[in-house]
Chain A
Amino acid sequence: MTRTSALMRVVALTAIYLLVLTSLHPGDILTGVVLSGIFVAAARRIRPLGPSPAAPWFRRLVGVPALVGGTLVDVAVSTWRTALWCLNLRRTRPGLVTVPIPACGAPSAAAWGVRVGITPDTVVVDLDEERGRMLLHVIDARDPDAVRAEQLRSYERRQRRVFP
């Protein structure tokens, strides 16, 4: 993490802190800066995420609507499937499926994990970006190849531009 990106993180966290307090009192700003600084320093020591994706930021920014909109669609579809499954209106066979993930950095793998994890019909059990695989528990594991294809298609269409 460069000094600039660390500074950006401190500023962003301080802004969130002040938004939560809805205050611009100098004491609150100082407390926010100190707390954010401690948090950013601690997070860096606990587990550095590695370099950010090399793609230019404006190209990544263009992909954000597709990422957010596509993820919302995924969540809505997955919510419907899971609700039917919970109510026993949809018979499936839940199980574990290993999904190969393309060579990507830790930030990209983490984004993939969060994106998949927010949909209720998939739970991320293990994520190994070094070996390039993700272990998922899905509510319908009758066709593991279909699950893999759906995950890879979703990565290509929604995430790749923002987190390559």
Chain B
Amino acid sequence: MISVVLDVIGAALLLVGLTLMTISLYGVLRLPDTFSQLHAQGLATGPGVLAVLASSVATENAAIITFAVLAIVFVTLTSPVSGHAIARSARHRGRRRQVE
């Protein structure tokens, strides 16, 4: 019974994650500037990846789930930093262009 519930939760999380990644890709292609594209990519690198990693509960394998939890912590800490670095350079580039 628990196994079936975990399978359903895993499948739902996988579906949510892949849907978010698809929407993110569409947003990155459609949106006009770097800042807007950063919001779109934030869907994939944040909740999208986290949902896919969390779907590992369906495996019921302690080693895989441990790796997934470590990856979730790593992504949670690094994803905002990478977004910030890109946003900061985009702003500096915009300022430099204005000066030129």
- Interface residues of chain A, those whose CB is within 8 Å of chain B, are 16, 19-20, 22, 75-76, 79, 82-83, 85-88, 94, 113-114, 116-121, 123-127, 135, 137, 139
Asked if residues B66 and A19 are in contact (CB atoms below 8 Å), the reply is yes
Query: What distance in Å separates the Cβ of A132 from its nearest Cβ neighbour in chain B?
Result: 18
Excluding A82-B43, A86-B40, A121-B42, 6 further A-B contacts by CB distance (< 8 Å) are A79-B46, A82-B40, A114-B81, A123-B84, A125-B87, A125-B88
Q: How many residues of B contact A (CB 8 A)?
A: 30
Specify which of A20, A22, A125 lies most central, judged by the most chain B CB atoms within 10 Å of its CB: A125
Q: Is the CB of B91 within 8 A of A125?
A: yes
Contact of B46 with A139 in the complex, beta carbons under 8 Å = no
Q: How many contacts A-B (CB < 8 Å)?
A: 92
* Chain B, interface SS category: helix
Q: Are B79 and A117 in contact (CB under 8 A)?
A: yes
- Take A20-B70, A79-B20, A117-B83 as given contacts and tell me if A123 and B39 are in contact as well, using a CB distance cutoff of 8 Å: yes
Please indicate which of the listed interface residues A75, A86, A126, A137 has the most CB atoms of chain B within 10 Å of its own CB: A86
Alpha-carbon distance between A86 and B39 when the two chains are bound, in angstroms? 9
Q: Nearest CB to that of A16 among chain B residues?
A: B70
- With a cutoff of 8 Å between Cβ atoms, the chain B residues found around residue A127 in the complex are 84
CA distance A19 to B31 in the complex (A): 40
Known interface pairs A86-B30, A126-B91; A121-B39 also in contact (CB < 8 Å):
yes
Residue in chain A with minimal CB distance to B19:
A83
A-B contact pairs, 8 of them (CB 8 A): A22-B66, A82-B43, A86-B23, A94-B35, A114-B81, A123-B84, A124-B80, A125-B35
